[in-house]
Amino acid sequence: MTIVDRAALRRWARRSLLLAVLLAAPAAYSEVVADSPDEDPGTLLGNYLSGRMARGDHDTVAAADFYSKALAGDPSNEIILEQTFLLEAASAHWDRAIRLANELVKVEPAHRIAQFLLGCDAFKRGDYKEADEHFSAA
């Protein structure tokens, strides 16, 4: 039986609130822009550069889409993997962000944001032991 430490629970709640605010902040300051084109440019470089431009314009949804396409073209690229994960999380695409977080911690086990998101997911599922492991790694 696990005894819940109230101070630790409060710290976890504050950290969760901070993460939620940090992830929601880009959306609050983003401009409304046109949707990304329906046709895919078809190249890794084109998708990567389009993602960087969209991110620079604070269009996290389009940036996440372009980075996802770039990651499909080079799935072993850790930099694109991390950027795609961060943008999917910032765009509130939680299913995709959790999938990418699982991939990211395989190549970078100490990635704090990925571990934190995986901990939140495990906590939500009621798997408190796994949640504690992820929070400890974060």
Identify which has the larger pLDDT, 35 or 79: 79
In this predicted structure, the answer to whether residue 66 has a pLDDT above a threshold of 90 is yes
Give the tens place of pLDDT for each residue, 16-44.
777 777 777 666 666 656 565 565 546 88
What residue type is assigned to position 138 of the chain?
A
Across residues 79-93, what is the average pLDDT?
Answer: 93
What integer best gives the mean pLDDT of the chain? Answer: 85
User: At CB < 8 A and 24+ separation, what contacts does 51-55 make?
Assistant: 51/83, 51/87, 55/83, 55/87
Residue 93 to residue 55: CA distance in whole angstroms: 16
As a whole number of Å, the CA-based R_g of the chain is 17
Helix/strand/coil for 59: coil
In this predicted structure, the answer to whether residue 83 has a pLDDT above a threshold of 80 is yes
What's the pLDDT at 2? 62
What structural domains and CATH numbers belong to the chain?
Answer: 6-137 (1.25.40.10)
What's the pLDDT at 18? 73
What's the pLDDT at 47? 92
